Amino acid sequence: MYYDLNVPWSPNSSELPRIAAFLHELGYNTIALSHTLDGQIPAKPINPIPTNPFPSLPSLRVLTRCTLILDDPSQTQKLGLLTPIYDIVAIRPTNEKLLLSTCSQMEHVDLISLDFGTRLPFLLKHKVLGTAITRGLKFEVSYAGLATGDVGVRRNLIGNAVSLVRALKGAKGGGVVVSSEARKAAAVRAPMDIVNLGGLWGYGGERGRMGIGGESRAVVVWADMRRRSWRGVVDVLGLGEVPKVVEVAGRQKEKRKAEEEAG
């Protein structure tokens, strides 16, 4: 199972079906269309992403995601409003103080995404990032800049990715999710190619495969649990119907099957 949790969505994106088709071609099973929110969250937020955007790709699971660019502490007050509307809520903090509060205290967050294409105004320290991992939050690296960005963007991306991996080195379970943030189909890369790049950045072997597989799956599952279950502990699986008892084994079962097929 391969996941790409960051495919930017905009209302007039004509490239989007092509990007989704290409992701599907390369082997990705689940993608998340990301709607970027800047500034204050509106009082009644609406998810503009349509429910079944790619009917010709039925085996591709499409989730909706919101990426909130956080530059003001007052934006966090209405964060809870986004939870029922989007499948995944991602935060992009822009300064050190907000990064610290996102990692240690902020509720209603599923993923922390930083813009690695630019020179970050803060250092990535284990002390800060480690608290996020223990709380179950993961960090996202978006690789579109490698294909579409210029030299500066590529250098920053690689440098920041290496710093992130180094800062998360002691943390249990990796904690890095890799996604594309591709605005054009040509920026997308196949899953194993991304795993190989991870190997060059210090994220080798099984941990690399987790970046597009296991860790991403954890984000999706936990986001779902946050919405469906009570505090991640109790979840209702059915509506309480009494299951049909199919008794008996062997001959009788075959007889019944034969009867069912005939009648």
Partner 1 sequence: MVRIKSRYLLFNILYPNTPSSNPSDPTIPTHLDFNSPTDPAVTPQLLASLIRDAVLLQFGDWGSGVTSSLSVKYFSPTTSTGILRCPREHHRLVWAALTFIKEILGKPVVIRVVRVSGTIKKVEQEGIKRAKEEIRLVRRVCFSRS
Residues that bind partner 1 (CB under 8 A): 14, 17-18, 20-22, 25-26, 54, 56-57, 146-147, 184-186, 188-190, 192-194, 196-197, 199-200
Q: Whole-number minimum distance, CB 27 to partner 1, in Å?
A: 9
Distance CA 182, CA 7 (A): 6
Q: Cα(first)–Cα(last) distance of the chain, in Å?
A: 40
Q: 60: Cβ–Cβ under 8 A, 6 or more apart, which residues?
A: 20, 23, 24, 28, 29, 30, 31, 54
Q: 146: Cβ–Cβ under 8 A, 6 or more apart, which residues?
A: 154, 157, 158, 189, 197
Question: Which amino acid would we find at residue 217?
Answer: R
Q: Select 93 or 191, whichever has its Cβ closest to partner 1.
A: 191
Q: Whole-number minimum distance, CB 29 to partner 1, in Å?
A: 15
83 three-class SS = coil
Distance CA 58, CA 179 (A): 21
Q: Select 18 or 126, whichever has its Cβ closest to partner 1.
A: 18
Q: Are 27 and 60 in contact (CB under 8 A)?
A: no
Q: Are 4 and 193 in contact (CB under 8 A)?
A: no
Q: Select 184 or 257, whichever has its Cβ closest to partner 1.
A: 184
Number of Cβ within 10 Å of residue 98's Cβ equals: 20
Q: Whole-number minimum distance, CB 188 to partner 1, in Å?
A: 7
Q: Whole-number minimum distance, CB 108 to partner 1, in Å?
A: 35
Q: Whole-number minimum distance, CB 87 to partner 1, in Å?
A: 22
Q: Select 108 or 154, whichever has its Cβ closest to partner 1.
A: 154
Q: What is the CA radius of gyration of the chain?
A: 21
Q: Whole-number minimum distance, CB 66 to partner 1, in Å?
A: 25
Q: Select 137 or 146, whichever has its Cβ closest to partner 1.
A: 146
Q: Select 76 or 179, whichever has its Cβ closest to partner 1.
A: 179
